[in-house]
Structure 1
Amino acid sequence: MKALSEQTNFSPGEIETLMKCTYYSQRKDINKGTDLQSLMEGWPFLFKEIGMTVHFQELTGISLKETFLTNVEKKGKRLLDFMRNSCADKSRRVLQAATKLEILRGQLEGCSEDVKDMVLLLLSYFDEKEENLFHYVEQTCLAKEVHVESLPVTPCIIVCGTSCYAARQFMLSVDCKVVNDHIPDFISAICLMFGTYYCLNIHYPVSLGSTLEFLQRCFFMINPERGTKVETKKNKKQLSVNPRVLTLITNLADQDWRGTC
């Protein structure tokens, strides 16, 4: 796989087979705390979409991108309608975000643009800062030119452009290090970012806990009855499900039920 990672004409099927065959060794290295640079050198495809998809499915039993897109098709429009109407009417912060995104989006259409709206409105709804998830650089910026000292230590999407709507491409960073410098579209970037938390055993930061947990439960369909991936705060009781996440999920379900009556 190290040799194949240097080529551009490798067989996707071969990479998928090799990732499955070496899954145990990958988990062994990750679980014993192998440093990030060694993981990148030893398992180069783990940080690419083709490899992470295999690893995530072996780990969780869930198809990373397919599950996300299926649920975006089922629930995305309902979530956007709820955010732009019900939430915007009640929250000045969400209204301002929705108005700003409408201007940035302009005439752009398509699933990818809807997902951008969805994620950015979720951040606004939960009052979580955009800069904790997205880091903006010049369109022509190369990985080696990114000021990594300004990146968060948790998985972060580097946007090559002034906004997610004007991006030329995306990159992914982990622990202030660029691990994938060529992600062509936003949906792939979101899936890789989310998958990294599971594949590398990383807790959600408190600063993004609600947004990530909502995506986890509503769009990636990971719904444990106990436990949470949000990092634990000392001397603070940790709930199995974030109440604000549960409230939004319930409101969306109620909206869907009313729409079928």
Structure 2
Amino acid sequence: MGVKMGVKTSDVGESSGKRNDSQEVQVVGETSKKKVDSYGCINFSPSLNSDTAESLEEIREDMCRKYNNQNPKDHDWEMIETQLRDTYSLQRYNINEGESVRDLLSKWPFLFTERGLFLHFKLLVGLDIRNTICEAFSKKAHRLNKFFKTEESGICKEADEIIKEAKAQSAKDSVIAWLPANILAIMKYFSEKEEQLFLTVDDTSTRAEVEAADTDGLPRIVCSGRSVMEAKKFRIVVDRVVVMSDLTSFITSLSALFALFYILNIQYQHGASATLEFIQRCFVGINPNRGSKSDRKRKSSCAGSVNAKVLRLINQMANFEWTTC
């Protein structure tokens, strides 16, 4: 697999990719292997016993039938959200036992919708991820952009170019380019390449073409268009599988991508670990005292559990806010 997941280490075979609403349930026993990455979570592995597992499996099968046979416009989301809450323990069990992304998409299709994903993240971490990122962006993005344009940031020229492009793009077709510009500037500050978080494809690219283009299997936002800031449609790809499509908002796409790292127990990829940790700590507000989701050993580059580069930017921003207020 292209992503590192904190899950059971036994090999998991790939499914055919077809949705299958008839799966044999596995009963949880005391000796079941558990995941290893509960970082930042408050409800990582809820209890599940043989009595409840069978009834929850029936609900799962009912949701699959609805997803496969109903027009999305006819979905009763009040009922679906109730079923997703009721089956949360079974979802966590399937994820923590190490089922492949493709198998999870087949077994839990409503989980990989905007409403289903954000609901699961709220149950798992205790936060409304999209609203949290929206609020943080509205409060911090302008200050970040001002700091990046200073000599102290070390990227003032690059940041100025990014901000100019965002202004031009927003004026041209009303695309809100400020959040992607903010994320690109953060990546530039950490010397991380945008390809580590974004995959840019042609507007006409099919699901199969996107999955084929995802050669390294990294969790990424797929941007349809010539650039990240010009894109108007987005998809999410994880481990060479498109798990979400038809997203029309960058902030929703970023929220979904971030949520998936926690929901699927995925470590941050090395090439974007600082950016993702900065989003985690400064935009989302997840600050555990111990551990890390970064996919690397950082003996000499971290202070406590915080990436040293991230800590440096946090301190620079604090000083910048103090001196410019």
Q: Normalised by the size of structure 2, how large is the TM-score?
A: 0.73
Aligned residues: 257
Q: Which has the higher helix share?
A: 1
Asked whether 1:79 is paired with 2:144, we answer yes
Q: CA deviation at 1:234?
A: 9.3
Change (3 A) 1:145 1:107: closer
Supply the distance in 1 between the matched residues of 2:101 and 2:323 (Cα, whole angstroms). Answer: 48
Question: Which of 114, 117, 127 lines up with 1:49 in the alignment?
Answer: 114
Supply the distance in 2 between the matched residues of 1:68 and 1:233 (Cα, whole angstroms). Answer: 28
1:230 aligns with 294
Across the aligned residues of Structure 1 and Structure 2, the Cα RMSD in angstroms comes to 2.2
Q: CA deviation at 1:48?
A: 1.5
2:170 aligns with 108
Alignment of 1:135-214 (within 5 A): 135-146=199-210, 148-214=212-278
Greater gyration radius: 2
Give ranges in structure 1 of 5+ residues lacking alignment: none
Question: Which of 91, 105, 117 lines up with 1:26 in the alignment?
Answer: 91
Q: Which has the higher contact order (CA 8 A, sep 6+)?
A: 2
2:190 aligns with 126
Give 1:223's aligned amino acid. N
Asked whether 1:248 is paired with 2:310, we answer no
Q: Normalised by the size of structure 1, how large is the TM-score?
A: 0.90
- Does the CA-based 8 Å contact 1:148-1:177 persist in structure 2? no
Change (3 A) 1:167 1:85: same
Change (3 A) 1:31 1:188: same
Give 1:74's aligned amino acid. K
- Does the CA-based 8 Å contact 1:155-1:173 persist in structure 2? yes
Give ranges in structure 2 of 5+ residues lacking alignment: 1-62
Give 2:90's aligned amino acid. S
- Does the CA-based 8 Å contact 2:149-2:160 persist in structure 1? yes
Give 2:126's aligned amino acid. G
Identity, % of aligned positions: 33
Worse overlay, 125-134 or 135-144: 135-144
C-alpha offsets along residues 78-125 of structure 1, whole Å, 9 cap, x if unaligned?
11111123456x33xx52353145236515168942111110001100
1:3 aligns with 65
Q: CA deviation at 1:164?
A: 1.8
